[in-house]
Amino acid sequence: GAVVALVPAAGRGVRLGESVPKAFVPIGGSPMVRYAVEGLIASGAVDRIIVMVPAEFVESAVALLPPSDSVHVVVGGAERIDSVRAGLAAAPEAAYYLVHDAARALTPPDLIARVVTELRAGHLAVVPALPVADTIKSVDAAGAVTGTPDRAGLRAIQTPQGFAAGLLRSAYLAEGVQATDDAGLVELLGAQVRTIPGDPLAFKITTPLDLVLADAVLDGASA
């Protein structure tokens, strides 16, 4: 069955403090969405790639992405969930979906291939996970600590997140649902989500410090 990667790249990226949408901010001289797409191609595990961008960035996205019959650009939505929905609509043929943030531009192709291997082995939902370095606390609206979950049982979750196509489509059929990642929607259906070891290089480029780190990683890679 076909593996289709959906790449949400329609965020405005206010936290980065840049004037262009986050996915179009350059690292090492090229927009991060380009690295994300090149990584998916390099994995050798993906048949088609749908990139969701803000409406006014469709043309520039087409121009900057690797010219390929298997890379398509569509208009995203107001929220990430709307952008993924637009991607699902553009790829009805998928047997498996990967959802992969453009902002995780430096994700090693090997990690992408490992997610697909787990899907093909029959796991319906697969996410990369790393142990957390910080202690995580819950707080109330006033900022007072309400709890400290045992760190040993916590993981930071990355992308690509892989799903059997029918499961992800079902998760997105529900109206008005909220989740900060795609696996969260699938969990609401009661489905089992499998974790596999993530990779520090799959970090999400979110803050100005992350941009410095991404540039340094690319600089080191080309030295």
Instruction: Give the footprint of ligand C5P on this chain (CB under 6 A).
Output: 8-11, 22-23, 52, 76-80, 83, 101-103, 204, 206
CB of 52 to ligand C5P, least distance (A): 5
Phi, psi of 156 (to 5 degrees): -90, 130
For residues 13 and 167, which CB has a smaller minimum distance to ligand C5P in the complex?
13
Beta-strand pair 71-75/48-53: parallel
Q: How far is 21 from 54, CA to CA, in rounded Å?
A: 8
Nearer to ligand C5P, 6 or 193 (CB): 6
Our CB check for ligand C5P shows the closer of 56 and 150 to be: 56
CB of residue 33 to ligand C5P, shortest distance in Å:
8
Minimal distance, residue 10 CB to ligand C5P, in Å: 3
Tell me whether residue 99 or residue 129 sits nearer to ligand C5P (CB atom): 99
Residue 182 phi, psi dihedral angles, 5° rounding: -70, -35
Q: What is d(CA 119, CA 60) in angstroms, rounded to the nearest whole number?
A: 33
Least separation in angstroms between CB 204 and ligand C5P: 6
- Give the residue carrying structure tokens 């499961």: 167
User: CA–CA separation, 1 vs 93, rounded Å?
Assistant: 9
